[in-house]
Structure 1
């Protein structure tokens, strides 16, 4: 009986991803009644928790910063597939979908996830300690990618409106891929120590000594289940998106709120994983997840939609409006000031969370 109770959590994390994929196959492309929407929401929440569990298993096996990279890339690849699918279905009305999704991911990760991680770690441990060299490099890459992909289209003159010409879009896509690949090489090979958690004395934690890492077989199993869970999260989020859209329209809210809600759902696994790392005083892991997700979202989404624009009809609007550009600039400035000391108090966490709240408020009341 005791053995069964101990195996229950593990069985639950195995069954829920499979159930999510089965439910996704049964509901894909159909109008869902209220009861089914409720069931989908419950399974969606379970898939998020299962994804976090399996991501932590893989991360424990491969170590940092590879563990953070696995979750960030896995979530982003599936998120990109969701964006391209919605753009293909939406026609002209989805012309700003890629821009809204990418910007929402940047604001959620760089302010929401960073803010709550710094706040939790500093309240629990006095101050949040991290490596400014690695975190600063990540923030600089995010800022460059965001500016090249989301700010420049507003000011270029080759095409009317906040759009890139074909040559400009190709340059932005290639630049995004090159910068992201260069960052991954820096994070995992040449300067890996910059992205490892630090002790209170500023020493790099090269390995966790509180538990033995899982076996290779267990890690591969968790990697496969992580993929299933993330497919379930994104696919089921798309399934409930019509209900979300109807609710947003009925409430008289701006259409961009739909993108914010979907982005929040998709980024839940990384958010929960970052919070758990912050509670364990592994703030660098939290920042790797947050900034790595923002970077992956831009670095993979922009090239994907650039390629998809070849066969998709309708314009591709990437340029941000003045309000969002101001929020992005403030995020970069505040993020830089947060990163430089290498440690943060609850004040820095609170500042980032206020910026995130401002973004949400302006999404509701533009």
Structure 2
């Protein structure tokens, strides 16, 4: 008799392979509506498979390394997608990196963070986390976002919201240094700041009720996680023309396409964060949310800085006034949310309203 666990293992093994095969068969082709629908179904299944394998790896290595694995894996592939699209050229590529990174920041710091706090606080009355580690992550995200997305709008060396070559190099190096410092702090020097805590404030170093998977199982899951993420990002790129056509037919602003693609890309982390919140592991959820935002900036800016050597068009990184205001509001509200080390449904709702405001501006700028 086939057990439920065996069926889950078979499904989560087959889906990443299927996603990559379909990606190879459809890459660079004009897709009919039926194929787009099928790809969207496979995309959803690949997201669920990615979350499953990320949780297996996370259980093997423990926190905060588990959250870091998923955040970095998704971001590396996201960066590859951005650079590929930028190298394709076109007028839209000038703001592609800025729009994608800002969408990732708003989705993670308001959407994922807000939903995680809301789920945990509704289920357990309050959401409890480590304010020291979360505050350090938030400070790093705020610094990276300001240096990379706000400062270009105020420099005068280049016309428009652009960095000069020297300024772009400084931003890229600063992003790498800050990201490297944070990862060292998170995984080596102050690892306990980023571990889940009990309601009495005690750090949870391991899950006593669950057996850790073997090293072989973890390596297989890591390989399947990467396959699933390649499939997710590639299929998302493949269906993006159909999404863009639908957005244009609905009379919506083009920025909505970037938001939809960013949501698809970040869906594995979103599901993983919500599952952790349901288990009252809010710190894991915040590690995923803020770690993803940080990795998105810290890896994307250096990558596009390097790609700009081969790009003929401008690279616009500076945000407009409305988005700067939303970023400022996000940082201020998140600081007030993080400081006490616990949150109620109110804080989760506030972040979700800010996220809704961002979506409304994307639809109706």
Give the equivalent residue in structure 1 for 2:38: 39
Mind listing any 5+ residue stretches in structure 2 that lack a counterpart? Answer: none
Correspondence for 2:162 = 163
Paired with 1:48 and 1:149, the residues of 2 have a C-alpha distance of 29
Q: Which residue of 1 aligns with 2:194?
A: 195
Cα distance per residue 1:34-90 (max 9 Å; x no partner): 111011100000000000000000000000000000000000000000111111124
Q: Can you list the C-alpha shifts for 1:208-234, whole angstroms capped at 9, x where unaligned?
A: 111110000000000000000000000
1:261 aligns with 2:260: yes
CA RMSD, 1 decimal: 0.6
Counterpart of 2:203 in 1: which secondary structure? coil
Task: Please tell me whether residue 99 in structure 1 is matched to residue 98 in structure 2.
Answer: yes
Show the counterpart of 2:291: 292
Which residue of the partner structure matches residue 226 of structure 1? Answer: 225
Give 1:72's aligned residue: 71
Tell whether the 8 Å contact from 1:113 to 1:274 is kept in structure 2 after alignment: yes
> What SS does the corresponding residue of 1:150 show, helix, strand or coil?
helix
Q: Hey, what's the Cα distance between the residues in 1 that align with 2:266 and 2:209?
A: 28
> Which residue of structure 1 lines up, in the alignment, with residue 129 of structure 2?
130
Shift in Å, 1:93: 2.0
> What is the match of residue 19 of structure 1?
18
TM-score (norm 2): 0.99
Residue in 1 that maps onto 2:173: 174
Q: Distance in 2 between matches of 1:70 and 1:6?
A: 24
**Counterparts of 1:278 and 1:226 in 2: how far apart (Å)?**
21
Contact 1:152/1:319 (<8 A) preserved: yes
Displacement of 1:162 after TM fit?
A: 0.2
* Deviation (angstroms), 1:285: 0.2
Q: How far off is 1:163 after superposition?
A: 0.3
Q: Would you identify which runs of 4 or more consecutive aligned residues in structure 1 move more than 4 Å?
A: none
Deviations 1:318-351 (A, max 9, x none): 0000000000000000000000000000000000
Query: Offset of 1:291 from its aligned partner?
Result: 0.0
Matches within 5 A, 1:1-366: 1-3=1-3, 5-366=4-365
**How far has the Cα of 1:6 moved from its partner?**
3.5
- Tell me, yes or no, if the aligned pair for 1:92 and 1:313 is still in contact at 8 Å: no
Q: CA deviation at 1:194?
A: 0.3
Answer yes or no: is the 8 Å Cα contact 1:130–1:284 preserved in 2: yes
Structure 1 unaligned spans of 5+: none
Contact map agreement 1:91 1:313 (CA 8 A) in 2: no
In 2, Cα distance between equivalents of 1:84 and 1:95: 11
